[in-house]
């Protein structure tokens, strides 16, 4: 798969070359994703930085769990930049948070599409 976000050989090794387990892992991840995306977009709008930080951390861990390490690093970087934006917001005593995470939403949609394809390819082998 060109420009893969998910390291499929590493993921296959992680699940022990068991397509059924890979499908289960993928299904759990994909089932949680809509709620995460919805909450993420909502928290960006209302600016609840604590919930945003927890959600970024959760999504980073989930990306690591599915061997999307590059995406996980993007979430780690976003966690750091959010922390800096919070510090800046407090220092300036501003009500506006100078942080954007829309790119992460796009990236999660890309991971979703890629994992959906991986699952469909592995379901045909079951």
What is the SS3 assignment for 59?
A: helix
Task: Kindly state the helix (H) or strand (E) to which residue 108 belongs, with its residue range.
Answer: helix 102-123
80-92: average pLDDT: 88
* pLDDT bracket for residue 3 (50, 70, 90): low
C-alpha 69/C-alpha 60 separation (Å) is: 9
Q: Write down the pTM of the prediction.
A: 0.87
* pLDDT bracket for residue 62 (50, 70, 90): very high
C-alpha 28/C-alpha 48 separation (Å) is: 26
C-alpha 72/C-alpha 74 separation (Å) is: 5
**pLDDT one-digit tens code per residue, 27-46:** 999 999 999 999 998 988 88
| Domains parsed from the chain with CATH numbers | 8-121 (1.20.120)
């Amino acid at each position: 798969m060109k420009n893969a976000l998910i390291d499929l050989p590493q993921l296959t090794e992680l699940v022990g070359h068991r397509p059924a387990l890979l499908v289960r892992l993928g299904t759990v991840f994909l089932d949680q994703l809509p709620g995460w995306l919805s909450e993420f977009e909502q928290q960006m709008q209302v600016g609840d930085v604590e919930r945003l930080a927890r959600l970024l951390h959760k999504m980073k861990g989930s990306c690591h769990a599915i061997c999307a390490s590059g995406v996980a690093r993007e979430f780690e970087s976003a966690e750091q930049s959010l922390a800096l934006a919070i510090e800046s917001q407090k220092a300036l005593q501003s009500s506006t948070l100078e942080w954007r995470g829309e790119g992460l939403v796009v990236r999660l949609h890309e991971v979703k599409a890629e994992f959906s394809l991986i699952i469909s390819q592995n379901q045909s082998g079951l």
